Amino acid sequence: MSSRKRLITRRDFIRGTISATLGLSLFKPDWVQKSIAETQKNVGNKSLVVLVRDQNVLDGQLKVNRQVLASMVERLMLELTGKKDIKQAWLSFFSPKDVVGLVPTPMMNPTHQELLDLIKESLAAAGIPETNIRNAQGRNVDLAPMTALISVPGLKAHWLTGIGTVIKNYILFSGAPRNYHYEDSAKLGEIWHLPQVKGKTRLIIVDALRPVCDKGPQFDPRYRWPYKGLLASTDPVALDAVGLKIIQAKRDEFRGEPWPISPPPICIEAADTVYKLGHSQLADIELKTIGWKEEILI
């Protein structure tokens, strides 16, 4: 038995031994270990996550009200940075010399184009040249010229990885997405340590206007609901942990009984305890909620 690979099972989650099991079962190549050692210094004591909601951001036809969305983005940025105006808020993350890549979710619950357009316009208004704001999603995108990334995923569950929002949003950067499904979804955090990716993510904005609480793999409109929210943080793991909590609460409400996400999203725990990308425990996260409180689910 001692020579057997340590398997992750349901019992690890019930016993609370998942961190230990992940630590024993995940192989970390040298380049990952070196990168982790550097990253670890940057993880602070508590992570700030801001949630802004507005019930008027979607109309009865679920079309986006751009004006309301713009005001939500502004609130998000001001609360996250503590700055007094939106320009200063953007410039606390980026300089006009940066080449900024936006990384939206392409499938299942794609990021609203209106949100991407607003971010681009707001960045440009802050002084980042429009030619320096680029799409960075996809297998064939050259990340080398990009000095900074903004991840803009849609909030959604995923049938192979449990949750498919922040940590998973960079899966195409690996060049081999299928290597990060099933049991290997625990390794999704490794992608954030790739040389062309590491340290570039300065900001994450999660599109939670209409999240999807079922896992797919294909879109089922019955499981998408108008949450009308945006989330932001600099900590990818904290954002996934908060997003997971919202999705799980919606699933339970949907069925009127516990309806756990299955398989459990081991990528969040591993991103924290193994890859040191941020905080997965809600006790280590400061959540600021702004605006509409009805059915906030967290």
Q: Is residue 271 a contact residue for another protein (CB under 8 A)?
A: no
Binding mask 192-231 for another protein (x = CB under 8 A): ----------------------xxxxxxxxx---------
Give the nearer residue to another protein in terms of CB position, either 164 or 243: 164
User: Cβ distance 57 to 64 under 8 Å?
Assistant: yes
CA gap 254, 213 in Å, rounded:
9
β-pair type (285-291, 47-53):
parallel
Instruction: Record the tokens describing residue 77, joined without a space.
Output: 């940025």
Site size for another protein (CB under 8 A):
38
CA 288 to chain centre: 17
Which of residues 122 and 273 has its CB atom nearest to another protein in the complex? 273
Shortest CA distance to 234 belongs to which of 93, 45, 71? Answer: 93
- Closest by alpha carbon to 224, among 204, 241, 207, 205? 207
| Residues pairing with 134 in the sheet | 101
Identified binder of another protein from the candidate list 34, 46, 97, 178, rule CB under 8 A: 178
Closer of 130 and 220 to another protein (Cβ): 220
Q: Does 294 bind another protein (CB under 8 A)?
A: no
For another protein, the closer of residues 211 and 291 by Cβ is 211
Contacts of residue 49, Cβ cutoff 8 Å, sequence gap at least 6: 231, 232, 233, 235, 238, 239, 242, 285, 286, 287, 288
x/- letters, 49..68, toward another protein (CB under 8 A): ------------x-------
> Judged by CB under 8 A, does residue 273 bind another protein?
no
Q: Answer yes or no whether residue 10 interacts with another protein by CB under 8 A.
A: yes
Interface residue list for another protein (CB under 8 A)? 1, 4, 7-11, 13-15, 61, 107, 158-160, 164, 177-178, 181-183, 185-186, 214-222, 257, 260, 262-264, 266
